[in-house]
Structures are given as C-alpha cells and as structure tokens.
Amino acid sequence: MIGYAFLLILAFSAVAYFVGRSTGSRFVATAGGKVHSLPGYHGAFVALWVGLPALLLLLLWVSFQGSAIDRMLLASLPETLTAGKSASEIDLIVSEIKNVAAGRMFSQPSADIVTVAERLQGWHAIADWAMIVVAACLMIVGLVLSRRLLSPRFRARNVVERIISGLMIGCSVIAILTTLGIIVSLIYEAAAFFRMVPFTEFLFGLRWEPQIALRPDQVAGQGAFGAIPVFVGTLLISFIALLVSVPIGLFTAIYLVEFADERVRAVVKPVLEILAGIPTVVFGFFAILVVAPAVRDFSNVLGLAASPNSALAAGLVMGIMIIPFVSSLSDDAMKAVPRSMRDGSLALGATPAETMTKVILPAALPGIVGGILLAASRAIGETMIVAMAAGLIASLTINPLDSVTTVTVQIVTLLTGDTEFDSPKTLAAFALGLVLFLVTLTLNIIALQIVRRYREQYD
C-alpha cells in the first residue's frame, strides 16, 4: 500500500510540474521579458509544494500507524481474553492476533482471537486507505494554493533554491541526529555500567574476567572489570599493525610518486585498491589459516613458545589490511606538494632521492602523520580480524607471541550468546564501546586537523 502511495505522489508531482510549467510558459507568452523565473522553476515550485508535504505526511503516518492501532487493539480486547492475565501473557496474545491477521497460523486459533484478528485487518485496511485519501487531499490543496502564488514577478527560482537547500540541510541533520543518538545510547548504557562497577576500577583495574553468572545456577567466575589488559592488548596489536603498514605503505607511496614509471603505476595502484577491497573476514581466515601457523612454526624454530592465536599474527594481518590506507593517504599528501618544490630542488642538482627525503617528505609530513593517525584509529576499531585471530582471554602482556584480546573482541563476545541487559557483563560492552569511540574520535579529529592545516599551506 505504501508503495502505491509513493507512486501516487510521484505521479501527482509530475502532473503538478507540468501544470506549473505551462503556467510559467503562459506568463512568458503574455508578459514577455518581465517574467522573473523560467517556466521550469514555476513547475518545480508547484511540484515541490505538492510532493513534499505529502511525502512528509506519509512518513509520519507510517511511523505512527502501527502504535496507534496497537493501542486501539489493546483497548478493544474482550474480557474473555485478558481476564487474569499478566502483561507479558497479554503481549503473547497480541502477537498471536497479529500473526493470525497477517495469515501466519500455526495452530487453530480460538474464535475470540479470530474475531479480534478480523477487526484488526479491517483497521489496517481503513488506515491504509485513509492515508492515501488524506495524502491526495493534501496534494490537491498544495496544487491549488501554490498555483495561486504564481505570477509573472513571482521569484520561483529563488524559492525553489531555498526549498532545495532546506532539503539538503534536512539530510545532513538526519546524519547528525543519528550520530548523536548513537552517542547518547552509548553514554546511557555505559552510565548504567558505571553504577555497578566503579569508574576507577574499570579504567585502572588489572584483571578482566567479565564472564559472571547470569542465573544463580550457573557456574562462573566472580567477575572483574579492570580494562587495562584489554587496552594493552588493543594497543599491542595496533602497534604491530602500524609497524607493518607504515613502512610498507609509506615506501610504496614514495616509490609510486617519485620513482615508478607510468606502466608500473598502472599496475600497482589497482592492485592496492583490490587489497583495500578485500573483506576483513577474508583477512581473518588468512590470519588463522596461514599467518598464525607460520608465526608458530617460525617461533618454534627459534625456540620460543608462541600461542596459537598470537598477537603477532593478528597484528601482521591487520597491518597488511591497512597498507593501502597508509599508502593512499601518503600518496595524496606527497602529490599535494607543489611540483615547483620538486623542480626547485632538482634544478639545484639534487637527486630524486635527495629531493624526496629533504623537500617532499618534510613538506608532506603533516599529511602523512595525519594519514597514519587515521590508520591507527582504523586499526584500533578493526573488529573482524581480531575477533577471528586474536584471543579471548585478557592477559596483561606485551609479548607479541602471547595471546591477547582487544576491546572490539571483548565487545563481540560480551554481546553474543546469553545476554541480559541489566548485568554488568553486558553493560561492560557499552563502556568499552564508549572508550573505543572516544579514542578513535580523538585520533580522527587530531588527524583531520593536521591534514587540514597542512592543506591550507599550499592552496
């Protein structure tokens, strides 16, 4: 039904456009050069006045129809069904009614339920039709009113421009509001967690054993929520990843910018883009199946003991994942250094390598550092690879051959499986998420600030 409503609005708007445009053309024919706007703008003006309010109405209607009908349904439930039932049992009955109304029947429903379900179906039909009728009326009113506004001197062009920019503002507001909503819910849940576990214990505690009992009969640990081992694990893996990706990515970029000829560039760049496009899950099993065994064998040869899911393996693979990121950002930073700098250095008799290290790199350094910070924030927030290849046990160590866990891995494990939203175990995930969010946000802001300041230097 909603699909038809959209089609109707589209069709109406198209009609409105042509109506407006023909009015505009008539103005041009009669008033000549004194008409302010081109006929197309008159058309767009009318179309916007017809389409937008109807669209808005549709959205509101759809978002409130469900709850309104639910309330009516609850109020109209016969005594026979609700007598002596608890709230959750009534919920069950309501969902059964909805299922029956939607034609999903698993067993023969009782007669009472069938009557209520039929009534519900009727309401839905009425609501749908009412929506279409109201929308149509609104569109007709819009058409009539906006046509009345048209005149040769009417500034349709400016008004359309304003409406469109209003629409764009609306879109960006939606994006911002969503972000705010996510942050608020994070803070809300994290606050609930900090009511159960002291803030200082979370930030400075050295033991992380969140698997506490959800039900009294479960056998589980006491629970400890000191996040330091998790943070250290995250930093260790990210550090290994940067250790891999920064040199490789940077040197790749230097090579591509300064030394590679056109043909090499034509091959290497797309290959790097492929690397950037590989899903992280794939990197994850690459880590498990190839890198982790290799790390273990290699350290055995050296006489060292490596755990099967060592931080080194996860970090190496994560490093490979962010190579294209580092290289493309450094590439951009170096390309942004004006050619005249390079020419100036070469004309003084510097070799390309001297030009690179003494002129281009220093000039591009802020951009490169910004890129590395962005890569770091990527590494810290990366989930899939570590969820597959890193450990679950939070041990406080900086030995890369040991198994460590990360913030993202803990969030995943805390929120999958048996969960209950008022236990500190589950809420801890939100506290971790909040910390993760704050750290990556800070990194991103610093990085973007650096990159921006440096861009201003040359433009």
Partner 1 sequence: MATVAEMPRETQTFTTVRTPDAAPRPVKVRGENVNVFYGAKQALFGVTIDIPEKAVTAFIGPSGCGKSTFLRCLNRMNDTIVGARVEGKITLDNRDIYDTDLDVVELRARVGMVFQKPNPFPKSIFENVAYGPRIHGLARSKTDLEEIVVSSLQRASLYNEVKDRLHEPGTGLSGGQQQRLCIARAIAVSPDVILMDEPCSALDPIATAKVEELIDELRTNYTIIIVTHSMQQAARVSQRTAFFHLGVLVEEGPTDHIFTNPIEKRTQDYITGRFG
Instruction: List contacts with partner 1 (CB under 8 A).
Output: 262, 338, 340-351, 354, 358-359, 362-363, 457
SS3 178: helix
Contact 406, 390 (CB under 8 A): yes
For residue 23 the two structure tokens come to: 């009015």
Task: Return the number of the residue (82 or 457) whose C-beta is nearest partner 1.
Answer: 457
> Which amino acid, 105?
M
Tell the burial category of 380 from Cβ atoms under 10 Å away from its Cβ (0-12, 13-18, 19+).
Answer: buried
CB of 56 to partner 1, least distance (A): 52
CB of 435 to partner 1, least distance (A): 37
Q: If residue 208 lies in a helix (H) or strand (E), which one and from where to where?
A: strand 208-209
How far apart (Å, rounded) are the C-alpha atoms in residues 389 and 387?
Answer: 6
CB of 345 to partner 1, least distance (A): 7
CB of 352 to partner 1, least distance (A): 9
Task: Return the number of the residue (342 or 425) whose C-beta is nearest partner 1.
Answer: 342
CB of 329 to partner 1, least distance (A): 19
Contact 368, 247 (CB under 8 A): no
CB of 394 to partner 1, least distance (A): 46
Task: Return the number of the residue (1 or 267) whose C-beta is nearest partner 1.
Answer: 267
CB of 372 to partner 1, least distance (A): 20
Task: Return the number of the residue (16 or 451) whose C-beta is nearest partner 1.
Answer: 451
Q: Give the 3-state DSSP-derived string for 116-133, with helices as H, strands as E and coil as C.
A: HHHHHHHHHHHHHHHHHH
> Which amino acid, 52?
L
CB of 337 to partner 1, least distance (A): 9
Task: Return the number of the residue (128 or 258) whose C-beta is nearest partner 1.
Answer: 258
Task: Return the number of the residue (196 or 260) whose C-beta is nearest partner 1.
Answer: 260
Cα–chain-centroid distance for residue 387?
Answer: 19
Nearest alpha carbon to residue 152 among 19, 22, 27: 27
CA–CA distance from 310 to each of 229, 233, 234, 397, 409 (Å)? Answer: 15, 11, 13, 11, 14
CB of 363 to partner 1, least distance (A): 5
Q: If residue 307 lies in a helix (H) or strand (E), which one and from where to where?
A: none
For residue 456 the two structure tokens come to: 């201003």
SS3 221: strand
CB of 255 to partner 1, least distance (A): 16
Nearest alpha carbon to residue 276 among 174, 378, 419, 183: 378
> Which amino acid, 252?
T
**Cα maximum dimension of the chain:** 97
Nearest alpha carbon to residue 369 among 260, 285, 449, 265: 449
Q: CA angle 428-394-218, nearest 5°? A: 60
Task: Return the number of the residue (58 or 361) whose C-beta is nearest partner 1.
Answer: 361
Task: Return the number of the residue (185 or 457) whose C-beta is nearest partner 1.
Answer: 457
Task: Return the number of the residue (162 or 453) whose C-beta is nearest partner 1.
Answer: 453
Task: Return the number of the residue (56 or 348) whose C-beta is nearest partner 1.
Answer: 348
